[in-house]
Amino acid sequence: MFLGARNLFWIAQLVGWSGYVLLAVVFSLLLQDELGRSEFIALSLVWLLGIVISHYYRKAIISFDWLRLRIASIIPRLIFGSIISALVFEAIYSGLLFALSGNAAVFDLSNLLQDLLSWSLLFILWSLIYFFYHFFKNYKQEEIKNLQLEAAHQEFQINRLRSQLNPHFIFNAMNSIRALIDEDPTKAKKAITQLSNVLRNSLLMDEKKLIPMEDEINIVKDYLEIEKARYEERLNVNWEIHKHNESRMIPPLMLQTLVENAIKHGISKLPKGGDLNINLSCVQDGYKIEVSNSGTLGEPDRSNNGTGYGLSSTRKRLELIYDDQAEFDLFQEHDMVKAKVFIPKDSKFIKA
């Protein structure tokens, strides 16, 4: 359990002033064989007054809100506050030491000036430690706040992209069903049932940043059933799922977007149709999603329903979630267009 700021301050006070007095005792014993009564009284007063006066000095710092000032404004106040604290310390210290020990030498001007300089330096050191701690603490809090704001912004962007992908996906599925209505009403009815299954599963995972690959595969399979009913023998789907890969976590609709893109901008443009190959495999430090389709890679369509939108969204989501650790590539290989995604398996790469 973490200590509160107040408890931490008092622990630091006790440890700090006790350490200072202990060092003074060690030096006194090195200079003389034993610690006399006057030295014991003097050191006891230093310990007590140091704790009390630095405590009130801290209350003044908080009261005048010095911790919120710039460093250039703090430095003269720090020196001034340390000198005032040293004056108060010396006045009380000298008076009590004389009252308890009867030593009038404490009022000697040279002794007073020497002690005042020592106490001033001591309080300046105390101030530096105190201000350094709070600047470091505030810096860390500001850093955490900035990270939280960045994470919230990234979460907003991811949710926005995902919310755009859902209607994009529904639009493509509805277009496929519409084409079936006149051609084969029975298949159209079956496709509507499959679409409802897809939408139900999609809504269940809508609030999740990452989902198991198995859940994504089920949605894609239902979607492909709708498309196969439309394209029939023109669409030939080949799956290759390596062992243990279905439990991997991926962003929702990541595979779905690649499959939609392959059908809409590849196979649908070929009179005789073609092959759609989906390969999910484990590789070193992560796993790979590869979707390839028959066709030719052309210029991206920058409209809302074009290739550019779906793939640019995929790139952006990978960047937001995995920073620069994930990879995405789209290229032509012989008579196939291939989309490859690499996702790191280590959760430390996941941002936000």
**For 262-283, what is the mean pLDDT?**
90
Burial class (CB in 10 A: 0-12, 13-18, 19+), 79: middle
Residue 350 DSSP SS3: coil
Q: Which of 243, 251, 235 is nearest to 313 (CA)?
A: 251
pLDDT at 306: 40
How many whole angstroms separate alpha carbon 102 and alpha carbon 107? 11
229 and 263 in contact (C-beta within 8 Å)?
no
Indicate the pLDDT class of residue 150, thresholds 50, 70 and 90.
Answer: low
pLDDT at 279: 94
Q: Which of 209, 304, 216 is nearest to 258 (CA)?
A: 216
Indicate the pLDDT class of residue 53, thresholds 50, 70 and 90.
Answer: very high
Task: Look at residue 183 and tell me whether its pLDDT is greater than 80.
Answer: no
The pTM of this model reads 0.52
User: Mean of the per-residue pLDDT values for the chain?
Assistant: 80
Q: Which residue has the tokens 């298949």?
A: 187
Indicate the pLDDT class of residue 201, thresholds 50, 70 and 90.
Answer: low
pLDDT: is 290 or 141 the higher one?
A: 290
**For 6-21, what is the mean pLDDT?**
87
Give the lowest-confidence range in 104-108, 183-187, 259-263, 322-326. 104-108
**Residue 102: left if φ>0, alpha if ψ -120 to 50, beta else—which one?**
left
User: Could you count the other beta carbons within 10 Å of the beta carbon of residue 81?
Assistant: 20
pLDDT at 3: 56
Task: Look at residue 307 and tell me whether its pLDDT is greater than 50.
Answer: no
pLDDT at 148: 64
Residue 299 DSSP code: P
How many whole angstroms separate alpha carbon 80 and alpha carbon 30? 34
Task: Look at residue 242 and tell me whether its pLDDT is greater than 50.
Answer: yes
Cα–Cα separations (whole angstroms), residue 85 to 39, 60, 107, 338? 22, 11, 18, 74
The tens digit of pLDDT for each residue in 338-352 reads 999 998 876 544 544
248 and 213 in contact (C-beta within 8 Å)?
yes
Indicate the pLDDT class of residue 305, thresholds 50, 70 and 90.
Answer: very low
How many whole angstroms separate alpha carbon 185 and alpha carbon 199? 21
Indicate the pLDDT class of residue 245, thresholds 50, 70 and 90.
Answer: low
Indicate the pLDDT class of residue 146, thresholds 50, 70 and 90.
Answer: low
CATH 3.30.565.10 assigned to 146-349: yes
Helix (H) or strand (E) holding 281: strand 274-283
pLDDT at 152: 56
pLDDT at 253: 79
State percent of the chain over pLDDT 90. 23
For 341, list phi and psi in degrees, rounded to 5: -125, 130
pLDDT at 57: 92
CA triple 13-16-17, angle to 5 deg: 85
pLDDT at 231: 81
For the chain, the domains span 5-107, 146-349
351 and 320 in contact (C-beta within 8 Å)?
yes
**For 52-62, what is the mean pLDDT?**
91
294 and 305 in contact (C-beta within 8 Å)?
no
How many whole angstroms separate alpha carbon 219 and alpha carbon 253? 9
State percent of the chain over pLDDT 70. 80
**For 294-314, what is the mean pLDDT?**
61
Task: Look at residue 304 and tell me whether its pLDDT is greater than 50.
Answer: no
Give the lowest-confidence range in 101-105, 208-212, 231-235, 273-277. 101-105
**For 215-221, what is the mean pLDDT?**
87
Amino acid identity of 94?
A: S
Helix (H) or strand (E) holding 47: helix 37-63
**For 122-150, what is the mean pLDDT?**
80
Indicate the pLDDT class of residue 206, thresholds 50, 70 and 90.
Answer: low
Task: Look at residue 289 and tell me whether its pLDDT is greater than 70.
Answer: yes
Indicate the pLDDT class of residue 254, thresholds 50, 70 and 90.
Answer: confident
